Chain A
Amino acid sequence: MDLRLPSKVLEHILSFVDSNEDRNSVSLVCKSWFETERRTRKRVIVRNCYAVTPEAVARRFPEMRSLTLKGKPHFADYNLVPDGWGGYAWPWIEAMAEKCPSLEELRLKRMVVTDECLEKIAASFKDFKVLVLTSCEGFSTDGLAAIAVACSNLRELELRECIVEDLGGDWLSYFPETLTSLVSLDFSCLDSEVKLSDLERLVSRSPNLKSLKLNRAVSLDALGSLLRLAPQLVELGTGSFSDKLDQEAVSKLSQAFSEMKELKSLSGLWDVLPEYIPLLYSVCPGLTSLNLSYATVQMPDLLELLTRCSNLQKLWVMDLIEDKGLEVVASSCKELRELRVFPSGAEGLNDTNVAMTEQGLVSVSEGCPNLESVLYFCVQFTNAAMVTIARNRPNLKCFRLCVMEPFAPDHKTQKPLDEGFKAIVERCKDLQRLSVSGLLTDKAFEYIGTHGKKLRMLSIAFAGDSDLMLHHLLSGCESLNKLEIRDCPFGDTALVANAAKLETMRSLWMSSCCVSFGACKLLSQKMPKLNVEVIDEHPLETRPDSSPVERIYIYRTLAGPRLDMPEFVWTIQKNPEIGVSHLAIK
């Protein structure tokens, strides 16, 4: 008797299973479940575009409607990955155009996207609806025009912090009059001015528009008329907030803001003048997300604004907020879940008298019971502060502390920050993401290895003493998925000894450490399912085994060595005649 669940029934059940993590588990049960699952999966996420080939993905998921891809490693954000390394979107778009022409959504992060890619998308996917590009580069506004003109059912076009060759603002004018389906438009990273009348017409014929993020070139005056056309917006990114408006224009703008009953997220606010901040008061109580990280607003002017944001869950701000401002956040924003504080100027390093210290974060940790995600740039920190924060907020899931001065010790005791981070990993049992900084010895990493059992992503810079540091992490952190390290004094022994661990992780990045070329070769030979990439812009002519490499990027892959490696990336496949090295592992 066939006890298998009829596939139609299974299909129906699976239609309720949304999360890819669950679907991955489903696919492991047995062959028939694997088959049913793969035929019904609509949303595919590939977090390393080199871990698998586009053809394999298309073959496995023929009904794919949405594809999310990530390319370069995270440290590419900080210029640590040389240009030309890779992360090209083209092979994926080409493959999908051929095999999955019903694709509707494409979300790319840290990838190289060219105008040809955009034109191909426009030409190939008849029902294309969503294009979200985050930290991408390689295209120009011409490519955007191609998308605008051809995608008649476009719902979302979002460019988040992309580097775009800006040839002018007329790309926007290519949206046809027949396009009425727009839900989200984000062109905040572009420089050129778009034609206001075209933008207004686009907005007025888009009744479903929920999210609009303008670029800096859109004036405050223009903002007023746009808001009157779209009072239903849930997310707004303003343009420049600094034109001198006359009294009538100001009151009209104020009126427009007060009509926006659905607004939950506010960003942009470039150059905002203090006298315009009261314009925002009417929307503050409804806001769950506020991004002031490009608004050069001083602390006194921020206080009134913050006291009114009682429902805020996400706050991004610059260190201009000062400790005092964070105290106000702690007392007013009780729903806060995520706080990011960015540095306003690089010259903070020489100051000891700064108005934003560790105390600001301590206050927020005391006052905001739901705080679970922190990114905090500051000049200095103390162990005591971290101990207090950990005690206050054992529910932290993401803790990224960037003490901007490398090797800075606890500024009160001059000791390393080991004990502070120990408290964090010990108390915050659900911590998934951690970035450490300041003066740290191997001890800190012993603590992290011992306690950071749920840690998935770890970023380290200028820390540690020896290979023990890496060994603690690789042998202790069971859930470790992504590890990125720069400028730390170790390399070979721990790496090679824990080679098997690397197959359980998505990727490992190490730059300016002391990994030798020989170790890289050894790893490559030992671990065929890993791509071990040595990225050296200045390689020596002859590379002795003992020579240190500039950067190493190791990731697990089913796709084997990639075919698009530039000159400065070495893998063992490039030099197969190098035999087994004489180096043995103890």
Chain B
Amino acid sequence: KDLMSYQLLSVDKEGLATSPGLKERNYMGLSDCSSVDSSTIPNVDKKSSLNFKATELRLGLPESSQSPQRETDFGLLSPRTPDEKLLFPLLPCKDHASGNKRGYLAKSGSNNAPASKAQVVGWPPIRSYRKNTMASSTSKNTNEVGLGPLFVKVSMDGAPYLRKVDLRTYTCYQHLSSALEKMFSCFTLGQCGLHGAHGRERMSEVKLKDLLHGSEFVLTYEDKDGDWMLVGDVPWEIFTESCRKLKIMKGSDSIGLAPSAVEKSKNKD
């Protein structure tokens, strides 16, 4: 689900909103915004960058930009009624080099592109110690004993949820393939029955690789450049370095992929 696609309901005096329309909420986080460049933030009124009242950052749907801009007198004496929304000005951002701190950014990407996460200091609230420990385990030198995990997500067409696997626990494609088979066999059993893969009577003997070779499903991965490739083409070590996600796709969907690889897998049959 797109980060931006949920709808924020307003609150009226009586309680939770039941009004059918959407009210836009204006909210702005003032986390250390030293590295926030106002040019990357939509709707920031640049000409009044020193005027707190007029700069506002909206967290709302992209198509809601035609809603009227509200100005509220930001002062201590302004009376607050329960349903008066407060606009919070964006501090003019100085360009401080502050290392790993990032400001709060609301991304209003188009609905098609997967929304990138807002980068927020200290969120989710995980202790630095824990973060460092997990980070150091994934970046450890491959020559060292006791490598950290290398988690990638595995999704499968038609499966209700995805799994994560640690690529470091496998040593070769065969190993990975049989592990995935175990993990996803509960989803493939049904499929195999439908397509009568190899006329086997006992479901448990049907292997994923048979399904793969039966060209019903292919195992693909997204590499670090964002391209989807077929699994098995490159040496195992290179694969683990570059694989970011795994997907068990229906054979018909894999036709866009590296054609030589598809040819290769067909020739294996």
Residue of B nearest to A492 (CB): B76
Contact A537 B32 (CB under 8 A): yes
**Number of interface residues, chain A, beta carbon within 8 A:** 86
Q: Are B147 and A242 in contact (CB under 8 A)?
A: yes
Query: Does any Cβ of B come within 8 Å of A80's Cβ?
Result: yes
Number of B residues, CB within 8 Å of A: 76
Q: Which listed residue, B6, B27, B130, B169, touches A273 by the CB 8 Å rule?
A: B169
Of the residues B129, B146, B147, contact of A163 by C-beta under 8 Å: B129
State whether A294 and B133 are in contact (beta carbons under 8 Å apart), knowing that A345-B164, A467-B80 are contacts in the complex: yes
Nearest opposing residue in chain B for A538, CB measure? B94
Whether B127 is near chain A, meaning CB under 8 Å from some CB there, is yes
Chain A residues with CB under 8 A of B262: none
A298 touches B122 (CB 8 A): no
Q: In the bound complex, what is the Cα–Cα distance between A460 and B44 (angstroms)?
A: 27
Contact partners of A343 in chain B: CB under 8 A: 124, 126
Contact A487 B30 (CB under 8 A): yes
Q: Give complex CA distance A443, B11 in Å.
A: 8
The answer to whether B145 touches A296, judged by C-beta atoms less than 8 angstroms apart, is: no
Partner of A546, one of B74, B122, B127, B137: B74
Task: Please tell me if the beta carbons of A537 and B98 are within 8 angstroms of each other in the complex.
Answer: yes
By beta carbon, the residue of chain B nearest A242 is B146
A353 near B155: Cβ-Cβ < 8 Å = yes
Q: Which B residues are in CB contact (< 8 Å) with A80?
A: 121-122
Query: Which residues does chain B contribute within 8 Å of A516, judged by CB atoms?
Result: 76
List which A75-126 residues lie within 8 A (CB) of chain B.
75, 77-80
Mostly, the A contact residues are: loop
Q: In this assembly, does B70 line the interface, its C-beta being within 8 Å of a C-beta of chain A? A: no
> How near does chain B come to A132, taking the closest CB pair, in angstroms?
15
Residue-by-residue, is B157-179 near A (CB-CB < 8 Å gives 1, otherwise 0)?
Answer: 00111111110010000000000
Residues of B within 8 A of A496 (CB): 76
0 or 1 for each of B1-24: is its CB under 8 Å from A? (1 = yes): 101001111110001100000000
| Complex CA–CA separation, A270 to B79 (angstroms) | 55
Shortest Cβ gap from A15 to chain B (Å): 38
Beta-carbon contacts of B95-127 to A below 8 Å, as 1s and 0s?
A: 010100100100000000011011011111111
Q: A409-B8, A418-B16, A465-B85 are in contact. List 10 more A-B contacts (CB 8 A).
A: A78-B121, A242-B147, A243-B145, A320-B164, A345-B151, A355-B162, A408-B6, A489-B86, A511-B30, A537-B98
Name B's A-contacting residues (CB within 8 A). Answer: 1, 3, 6-11, 15-16, 25, 27-32, 34, 52, 59, 74-77, 79-80, 82-86, 88-89, 91, 94, 96, 98, 101, 104, 114-115, 117-118, 120-130, 133-134, 137, 145-149, 151, 153, 155, 159-166, 169, 182-183
Q: What is A's interface to B at a CB cutoff of 8 Å?
A: 75, 77-80, 135, 161-163, 189, 216, 219, 240, 242-243, 270-271, 273-274, 293-294, 296, 298, 300, 320, 342-347, 349-355, 377, 402, 404-409, 414-416, 418-419, 439, 441-443, 459, 461-462, 465-468, 486-487, 489-490, 492-493, 496, 511-514, 516, 518-519, 537-538, 545-548, 550, 583-584, 586
